[in-house]
Amino acid sequence: MASPKLFTPFKLAELELPNRIVISPMCQYSADGEGSMTDWHTIHLGQLALSGAGLLIIEASAVAEAGRITPGDVGLYSDANEQAMARTLASVRAHSPMPIGIQLGHAGRKASCQAPWEGGKQLSLEAGGWQTLAPSDVPYQDDQRPPQAMTLDDIDALKADFVAAAKRAERLGFDLIELHAAHGYLLHQFLSPLSNQREDAYGGSLENRMRLVLEIFEAVREVFPADKPVGIRISGSDWVEGGWDLEQSVALAQALDARGCSFIDCSGGGLDPRQALDVGPSYQVPFARRMKQEVAMPVIAVGLITEPEQAEGIVFSGEADAVALARGMLFDPRWPWHAAAKLGASVHAPKQYLRSQPHTLKGLFG
């Protein structure tokens, strides 16, 4: 019997993945306060790397200190960050062959906040917060201090920060880079007319609002090895009238496709607290479905994908080339094992766990 499509090999540029299950970047807010990974990340990433998924993308890593969402965010802007990340990666890679990518981003006006379990509110300057940056001096919420509108020099510095982080990612041997232009963070802020009220070359028209994302993609693509994928995560819609929407997302995707983007990961929302959406199974998959009709690059779908049959249906029907799971993987770090068992496929497992294979599922661990 043919293997379920979810468990067939899949290529992103020259990177071959054993299956079409991607572990999404998931913020842990557990760095050391200076942006460097800790033992928590070794434990967290280690268990996910034993899951049998096709690709693991580590959490959004800030390209500048001011780009962290919280003081506990991981960064890749200093030698100390790079050295700590190298230690974590060495431990994970010693026991797992899973390809590992990194998501690079900057929180913009959504920076300088508490960890979610502490309330998630913006930190005051007196409590260890910092001045945030954004395309315009429009705060995320009315009760927050306004961000500083970025000058052209600030924009040039941001591009240099992305390039420097990409070079560090190359030295660390990452298999892939995903640029974070979703969830209301800085690159998304430049895209949306709700947060970008500039009147220069980076604001106003759709072409101008897309300019920074395209420039950063080109700059990162130039310094990261040509045979390794550079892709992007976007929010397909702000779900707010007058904001970023699917048609603008298509225009951005087509512009990126023409520039050799390796994949697009279609999420949604996060830019404006007024967003109105109905959350349910596969609720963001329509973004991916549309992208599949509009671009040649591979498309990854997200959005409450929790069941094996659901994931198989998405890739089998051609709505997306792969699916990405986040919270579902935290809840069940062996989700790919269980999906393979249910769909009649095989999956990689470490030799130390081979004896866990149920007697009724011979061949599960291929």
Q: Per residue of the chain (366 residues), what is the pLDDT tens digit? A: 568 999 999 999 999 999 999 999 999 999 999 999 999 999 999 999 999 999 999 999 999 999 999 999 999 999 999 999 999 999 999 999 999 999 999 999 999 999 999 999 999 999 999 999 999 999 999 999 999 999 999 999 999 999 999 999 999 999 999 999 999 999 999 999 999 999 999 999 999 999 999 999 999 999 999 999 999 999 999 999 999 999 999 999 999 999 999 999 999 999 999 998 878 888 899 999 999 999 999 999 999 999 999 999 999 999 999 999 999 999 999 999 999 999 999 999 999 999 999 988 888 998
Global confidence as pTM: 0.97
Hey, which bits of the chain come out as E strands? 10-12, 15-17, 21-23, 55-62, 100-105, 133-134, 148-149, 176-181, 230-235, 264-267, 299-301, 322-325
Please enumerate in sequence order all residues whose Cβ is within 8 A of that of 153, keeping only pairs 6 or more positions apart, or say none.
none
Tell me yes or no: is domain 5-361 CATH 3.20.20.70: yes
Nearest to 51 by CA among 361, 309, 340: 340
Q: Which residues are catalytic?
A: 185
